[in-house]
């Protein structure tokens, strides 16, 4: 996506990127985000081999040796990852838990991206990264489905917020207000809270970010 550099919100002087929808976004806080990710990952890996195998980890490893499209307890992703870990690292427990740590690192980055998408400056992105690192620090201590659940849900929330704040889907190309209303009705069933905030045009007040720019390209 192309953009141009403009002054940050409220004339802060820090550059932000203006996307195609016209919404100004603050610059990334990569040094802070990277620092949180590295510190969290290092701590997880430092104790990854300390307490031995958990029974669930043995279960995931065993199911990974018998590939299927689905299992009684969980979808096929986790067993597939366990199978990949075994192919790369053999019977290494640290090698298996490395993938949970990577998923947790992804969750931290995506959470910071959500804060940025909502207008959060660098300090807000840093706080979001720290907030995400706290629960994932414990969740990523072992190879469990929860590590991948957290990353998946974070990605879904980011996608939903992008849809509602930038119109980055087919709604961007609606031609009339009636088209937009028809398309929004579908989202009322899936994202009732976000759809309500969008309809009231006060999402910025609820989330304490900059006022929303025009969301959709509508021709009256």
Domain-located, residue 220: no
Determine the structural domain holding residue 174 and report its residue range: 4-207
Backbone angles phi, psi at 26, to 5 degrees: -65, 160
Domain-located, residue 131: yes
Domain count, the chain: 1
- pLDDT at position 210, please? 44
- pLDDT at position 162, please? 83
Domain-located, residue 214: no
pLDDT at 89 over 80: yes
Domain-located, residue 215: no
Mean pLDDT over the full length of the chain: 77
**Average pLDDT value for residue range 181-193:** 61
Domain-located, residue 133: yes
Indicate yes or no: pTM above 0.75. no
Domain-located, residue 30: yes
Domain-located, residue 146: yes
pLDDT at 188 over 80: no
Q: Take residue 92 and report the two structure tokens written for it.
A: 């290494």
- CA atoms of 147 and 107, how far apart (whole Å): 9
Q: Take residue 141 and report the two structure tokens written for it.
A: 């201590």
- pLDDT at position 190, please? 55
Domain-located, residue 74: yes
């Amino acid at each position: 996506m192309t953009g141009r550099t403009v002054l940050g919100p409220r004339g802060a002087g820090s550059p932000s990127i203006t996307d195609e929808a016209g919404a100004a976004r603050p610059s990334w806080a990569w040094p802070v985000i990277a620092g949180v990710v590295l510190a969290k990952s290092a701590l997880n890996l430092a104790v990854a081999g300390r307490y031995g195998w958990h029974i669930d980890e043995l279960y995931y490893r065993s199911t990974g040796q018998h590939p299927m499209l689905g299992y009684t307890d969980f979808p096929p992703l986790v067993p597939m990852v366990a199978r990949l870990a075994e192919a790369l690292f053999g019977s290494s427990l640290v090698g298996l838990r490395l993938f949970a740590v990577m998923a947790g690192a992804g969750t931290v980055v995506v959470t910071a991206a959500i804060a940025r998408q909502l207008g959060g400056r660098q300090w807000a992105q840093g706080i979001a990264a720290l907030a995400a690192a706290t629960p994932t620090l414990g969740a990523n201590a072992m190879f469990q489905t929860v590590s991948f659940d957290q990353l998946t849900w974070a990605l879904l929330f980011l996608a939903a917020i992008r849809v509602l704040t930038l119109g980055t889907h087919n709604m961007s190309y609606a031609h009339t207000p009636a088209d937009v209303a028809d398309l929004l009705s579908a989202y009322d069933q899936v994202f009732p809270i976000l759809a309500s905030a969008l309809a009231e045009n006060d999402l910025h007040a609820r989330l304490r970010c900059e006022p929303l720019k025009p969301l959709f390209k509508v021709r009256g």
